[in-house]
Structure 1
Amino acid sequence: MSADYTSGAAWMNAKVIPISDAKISVFDWGLTRSDITYDVVHVWDGAFFRLDDYLDRFMASMGKLRMDVGMERAEIRAALIDMVATSGLTSAYVSMVASRGTPIVAGTRDPRACNNHFYAWAVPFVWVIPQDVAKRGAHISLAEDARRIPINSVDPTVKNYHWGDMTAALFQALDAGYDTTVLLDHDGCVTEGPGFNIFAVVDGTVVTPKSGMLEGITRKTVMEICAELGIPCEARDIPKDVFLSADEVFTATTAGGPVAVTRVNERILGNDATGAITERIIKTYWDWHTRTDLNLKVTYK
C-alpha cells in the first residue's frame, strides 16, 4: 500500500514519511527551550522559488546558533527536493528545521551535550494572509502593548520560534477585529508582523525596516523588483508616526508574497484599495515565478 501524502510529507532520519508519522522527542530542546532554527521555502506550480537563497539563510542561522546536524548544504538541498518530489505537492509550504535535540546526559544544562538534528516537512501551500483577505486588502493594527523582543536578547535574523511577543499582539489585533498586526521595537520604530516583513510607501519611496526583523527572502525579492522597475527603495528606521501616515502599506512573506494593506488602525489607505506601486510589485513578484534563474523545477516521482 502506497503512503498517503495528501496532508503533507516529512523528511526524518534519511527517509520521506507521511507528515502524520513525523515525531520528535518530548525531551528535545527544540520543544522544551525553543532552541531551534528553521526556514521556509515555497513550491509554486511545481517549482521551488529561490531555494538557494533560503538554504543560504538556513545555513547561516545554524552557524550563529552553533548547530551541527551532520549534513552538508547539498545534502539538505537534496532532502528537500526528494521530499517534495515524493509528496507530489505542486504548490507547497516547505519547512527545513535544525533542532538542538535531545540531551545526551539527562538533566544537563550544557547546550554542547545535545544531539543536533535536521528534519523537514511540506504541506499544501499556506497563505499567511488568507487569499480572500489579500484580495480586499489586509486590515492591520500597530501593536502598542506588545513590543518586539530586543535584538540583543533574540537575534531576529535567525529564524526562530520565539513568538511570545507576536502571539500577544495577535490576540489584541484579532480581538479588535483586525486581520493581523505589526510590532514596534522599544524605540517606537516598526519591525515586522507574525510571519511577514512590512513595507510602506512614503513620498514615492518604498521603505522597509532596517533592523529588528528577519531579513526575509521575499523582502529581498521586493527590493530587487523595485530596482528593476525604477522605484526608489531603501531600508531605514520607520518611526510609528511616519508609518501611520504612509501613502501605501504592504506585507511580504514566503507564504503568499506581497499583500496590500488597506487599513492601519482606524486609518483607511488609498480609498480602501491596493495602491498603484503595491499593485506593480505584486504583479511582478508573481511574474518572477517563471524566471528560470529563480526557480527549480521538481521532477516528481
Structure 2
Amino acid sequence: MDTSPFANGAAYVRGRYVPIAEASIPVTDWGFTRSDAVYDVVHVFKHGFFRLDDHLDRFIRSMAARRLKPPEDRAAIEAALHRCVALAGLADSYVAMVALRGRPRVAGSRRPADCDNHFIAYALPWIDVIPKDVQERGAHLWIASIPRVPDASVDPTVKNYQWSDLTSGLFEAHDHGFDTAILCDAQGFVTEGPGFNIFMVKDGQVLTPDRGSLQGITRKSVLELCADQGIEAKVAAIPRALIEDADEVFAATTAGGVMPVSRIGARILGNDRPGPISLALKQAYWQRHEEGWHRTPVRPLEQVAAE
C-alpha cells in the first residue's frame, strides 16, 4: 500500500509542490469567479508523456490568445509537469497545466491587466472520459438540443473552462439514459462533446467537424493514423443528418484515446458494437504508444528536483 502523501496525485501551486488534496486557489481568483483561465491536458503512458511538445505548443498559444503571462516560462512549465508525475510515482497519468488570471492587485478593479497571472500543474492517476467498459460495448451518444456557444464568442481552439453548454448537453444525455453528449451549432452542424472530439465513418471515409471544436492532439493523431493506413480522412462540415446516418462514430481525446460509439441518438450502429474502422484506429493508436510514438520519458525525481 502506497503511503506517500502524493499517492493520489501531486500539484504545483504558487511555486510549491503539494499533495493534490492540498492544492487550492483563492475564492477571489478570476480563474474561479470568471472562468478566466486556459488549460491543457497531456497523458503519461508507461512512464512517458505522449506528444508533450504539441500540448505545450497549444498551451502557450492559448495563454497568448487570452493575454495570460504567468512567471514560469515554457521550460519551467515543462519541468513542473515532469516533477508532478515523478512525485506521484504514476506510470499512467492525467497531467494538467492551467494558467489563471489571478486576483486584482487593486481592490475592486475590473481591469484584467491589474491581476497577477499564475500557473498551476497537477498529475492524477489515469482518467478515461468514457469508462473502459463503456468503450468496450461502444458509447451511447445523445445529440443535445442546446447549441454550442458560437466560435465568434468563445474560440474553441483555445482550451478553456467555459463548459456551460457542454454540461447542459450532459444533463440531457443522462436524463435520457445515454453515456454522454455531442453538440451541434446553431446552424445544425456537429461540433464536439464534453472533453472530446468526434469522428464519423461513412462508406469508408473518416470525417471530423471543421467548426465548434478544439483542434485536439488526439484528433491530430487519428488523422495521422488514417494517412498511415490509407484511410481517406478529412476535416469537414458535418450536418446533424449526416452523422445520424453514419456507418460508425467514435470519440477521441487525451483522456481515453480512440473511443468507439455504438449508438447515436435513436440509431444503433454496427449491430450495437464498435465498428471495424473505429477498432482498427483504436488498436493502432495504442500500438504506436507501445512503440514509443511521440514519447518523452518522464524525468526521474532526482533529476527534476535538481532543476
1:205 aligns with 2:214: no
- Please show how residues 119-138 of structure 1 align to structure 2 within 5 Å: 119-138=120-139
**Counterpart position of 1:248:** 248
Which residues in structure 2 correspond to 1:71-220 (within 5 Å)? 71-144=72-145, 146-220=146-220
Question: For 1:217-257, what per-residue CA distance to the aligned partner results, in whole angstroms no more than 9, with x for missing partners?
Answer: 00000000000001000000000100100110000011010
Give the aligned partner of residue 28 of structure 1: 29
Work out the CA distance in 2 between the residues paired with 1:13 and 1:166: 30
Q: 1:280 to 1:119 in 2, by over 3 A?
A: same
> Contact between 1:3 and 1:17, CA under 8 Å: does it hold in 2?
no
- The runs of 5 or more residues in structure 2 that have no matched partner are 302-307
Displacement, 1:89?
1.1
Partner of 1:45: 46
**SS of alignment partner, residue 147 of structure 1:** coil
For residue 199 of structure 1, report the CA deviation from its aligned partner.
Answer: 0.0
What is the letter of the counterpart of residue 121 of structure 1? Y
Matches within 5 A, 1:280-291: 280-291=280-291
Single out whichever of 213-222 and 81-90 deviates more from structure 2.
81-90
Q: Secondary structure at the match of 2:225?
A: helix
Code of the residue aligned with 1:27 in structure 2: it is T
Q: Which moved more, 1:95-104 or 1:272-281?
A: 272-281
| 1:58 alignment partner in structure 2 | 59
Structure 1 counterpart of 2:267: 267
- Map of 1:297 onto structure 2: 297
Q: Measure how far apart 1:72 and its partner are.
A: 1.4
Amino acid at match of 1:101: G
Q: Distance in 2 between matches of 1:63 and 1:257?
A: 27
2:129 is paired with a residue whose SS is coil
Normalised to the residue count of structure 1, the TM-score between the two structures is: 0.97
Counterpart of 1:102 in 2: which secondary structure? coil
For 2:304, the equivalent position in structure 1 comes to none
- Percent identical pairs in the alignment equals 52
The root-mean-square deviation of aligned C-alpha atoms, in Å, is 1.1
Q: Cα distance, 1:201 vs. partner?
A: 0.4
Q: Distance in 2 between matches of 1:250 and 1:5?
A: 34
TM-score (norm 2): 0.95
Summarize deviations over 1:164-189 as a string: whole Å, max 9, x none: 10111111110110000000001100
Shift of 1:266: 1.0
Could you tell me how far 1:292 is from its partner in structure 2?
3.5
Q: CA deviation at 1:3?
A: 5.0
How far did 1:293 drift? 4.9
In 1, Cα distance between equivalents of 2:108 and 2:152? 27
CA distance in 2: counterparts of 1:140 and 1:48, whole angstroms: 29
Count matched residues. 299
What amino acid sits opposite 1:288 in the alignment?
A: R
CA distance in 2, matches of 1:114, 1:171: 34
Letter in 2 for 1:229: Q
C-alpha separation in 2, matches of 1:281 and 1:82: 32
Q: What amino acid does structure 2 have at the position aligned with 1:22?
A: A
Does the residue aligned with 1:258 lie in a helix, a strand or coil? strand
Within 1, Cα distance between the matches of 2:154 and 2:245? Answer: 30
1:14 corresponds in structure 2 to 15
Code of the aligned partner of 1:91: D
Q: Which runs of 4+ in 1 moved over 3 A?
A: none
Stretch of structure 1 that moved more, 84-93 or 226-235: 84-93
Q: Distance in 2 between matches of 1:15 and 1:297?
A: 23
